[in-house]
Amino acid sequence: MEYMTVYDAAQKWNISERLVQKYCASGRIAGAEKFGSSWRIPVGAEKPKDQRREQSAPETQGKRGQSLSYPGLMPLMNTAFEPGKCLEFIDSMADGLEKQVALAEYYYFSGQPEKAIEQTQLLLRESDKNIQLSACLIYLYANLSVGEIQRARYALTAVQETLASDTEKHPEKRAVLSFISSAAAVLLHRPLPKELPPTQELLPRLPMGIRMFALYIIAHGVYLQKDYQRSLGIIEATLSMQTEEYPIPSIYLHLAAVMDYMSLKQVDKAKRHLLAAWELAKPDDFIQGFGEHHGLLGGMLEAVIKPEYPEDFKRIIAITYRFSAGWRKIHNPDTGHDVADNLTTTEFAASMLAARGWTNQEIADHMHISLNTVKYHITNAMQKLNVKNRQELKKYMLL
Amino acid sequence: MEKAKTYQVEGATLTIPLQYDQKTGKYMEVYPDFLEHPIYTPEGHPIMLTLEDACAFGEERSAGEGLIDCGSCRFYRPFSNTLLGVCGHERNRKA
């Protein structure tokens, strides 16, 4: 068989040598073989196709109208696909690191953290930054879900070190680094790293699906500042601008809208967003986000999902317990906050609404439980937390 | 035998059952429904739970604090180390 060098292939396909090497390393060029520190490529090998283009995902345009490519960066999050076709999409990907990351995303978002950990642990020191950072992010949250805090901290530190030591001047790559760092910080309710560039510089440089998720992170951050209307503005604008359905970021955006609307006591609108999130999530079993956000959804899962989908509800609550226990172990010591521990999910949901000023009757009506049951849960929560009134409940309720 | 705790609240004797919570390793007080089955002090004031919804006669403790529940009402007298208290409003007093 006749071979060509990486340089020859780069010339022939009109791409950089680095990208050719990346294609070789991820197994996307049939017959390519490692040759010393480089690769030899069969002369007849075809240039790998852009996977996102094949999946009809829109391209991101650089400032000079240049098409940007982000192989390996949270490929599932960054892909528009029909709900229910997630595994089909992953199957269609060429074997390699990008596919491994996509599979890890699938495992994580469908509430299978152990498999997500298994899938990502060998990629944490991968030289390709997109792969490495994606793996770290998944590994971090998956380990929170199984209570492996040291491992979660390891991944968090790896992300922070990469950001701090980064000398990358390429703006698109800086944007990717910033996105991953924000995702690791904001969702744990930790302060944002100082090194991050301003949002307006970051967003236009991210591809569509990642940009949507970045906007979810921003909206979540704004929610934590209690600016619910602004958070909703970000969410509604993001959702209305998408030309194709990106299920993963859309689910998270809808869930953040539920948080905002519940804080504004606009239950009908919150319900609409919850159902929209559920419609996108159910076909692929993407239930992780529901479990992660339970505490902030103001009893909405109990009100809407529990009666219709009791088995799914049980699985979501199991995720909530596992995830929130891990989350608190990092959040509480790092921030000095004292988010409620030892409460059942129902106690937390009822107490959160009580702390927000809902009457017991309103909580009972919303959660479809009796007035006495509401009081039972809130008195239990107050005793466990040793607080004397609803005002004091607030500091334990992420409010 | 069921565990319980007895309180003397402004002359009224109350026995509150306790329930063990495995998660916290603590005994939790299980309060009766004071709205359905009111209990009064000898002076006719109703015993309430701190977290009962505020009634029409309630007034906030201090301006701007808000009136949500008995605990935030200036007529409510909380009893220490429990979520029990006494409503001191004349309009709620038993004739």
pLDDT in tens, A307-325: 999 999 999 999 988 888 7
Given a cut of 60, is residue A65 above it in pLDDT?
Answer: no
* Interface contact flag, B53 A342, Cβ < 8 Å: no
* Interface contact flag, A390 B53, Cβ < 8 Å: no
* Interface contact flag, B21 A375, Cβ < 8 Å: no
pLDDT of residue A47: 83
Mean per-residue pLDDT, B54-76: 90
Which residues of chain B does A391 touch, with a Cβ-Cβ cutoff of 8 Å? 65, 71-72
- What ipTM was estimated for this complex? 0.92
* Interface contact flag, B66 A360, Cβ < 8 Å: no
pLDDT range class, residue A60, cuts 50, 70, 90: very low
Q: What's the CA gap between A252 and A186, in Å, rounded?
A: 14
Could you tell me the two tokens for A114?
A: 């152990």
pLDDT range class, residue B29, cuts 50, 70, 90: very high
* Interface contact flag, B29 A383, Cβ < 8 Å: yes
C-beta of residue A71 within 8 angstroms of C-beta of residue A22? yes
Ranges of beta strands (E only) in B1-95 are: 4-9, 12-21, 26-29, 47-49, 76-78, 84-87
A360: closest chain B residue by CA: B53
Q: How far is B39 from chain A (nearest CA, A)?
A: 17
- CATH hierarchy code of domain A288-332+339-399: 1.10.10.10
Which residues of chain A does B66 touch, with a Cβ-Cβ cutoff of 8 Å? 357
Tell whether B73 is within 8 A of chain A (Cβ): no
Considering the four listed CATH numbers 1.10.10, 2.30.30, 1.25.40, 3.30.2310, the one that applies to the domain covering A52-58+69-286 is 1.25.40
Q: How far is A361 from chain B (nearest CA, A)?
A: 8
Q: What are the residue ranges spanned by the domains of chain B? A: 4-92
Q: How far is A351 from chain B (nearest CA, A)?
A: 11
Q: What's the CA gap between A97 and A130, in Å, rounded?
A: 10
Q: What's the CA gap between B82 and A275, in Å, rounded?
A: 40
pLDDT of residue A68: 44
Q: How far is B56 from chain A (nearest CA, A)?
A: 13
Q: What's the CA gap between A104 and B14, in Å, rounded?
A: 57
**Residues on chain A bordering chain B, Cβ-to-Cβ distance under 8 angstroms:** 342, 344, 354, 357, 359-361, 372, 375-376, 378-380, 382-384, 388-391
Mean per-residue pLDDT, A355-379: 92
Q: What are the residue ranges spanned by the domains of chain A? A: 3-48, 52-58+69-286, 288-332+339-399
Q: What pLDDT, in 10s, does the model give residues A75-84?
A: 999 999 999 9
Cα angle for residues A307, A309, A311 (degrees, 5° grid): 115
Q: What's the CA gap between A146 and A89, in Å, rounded?
A: 27
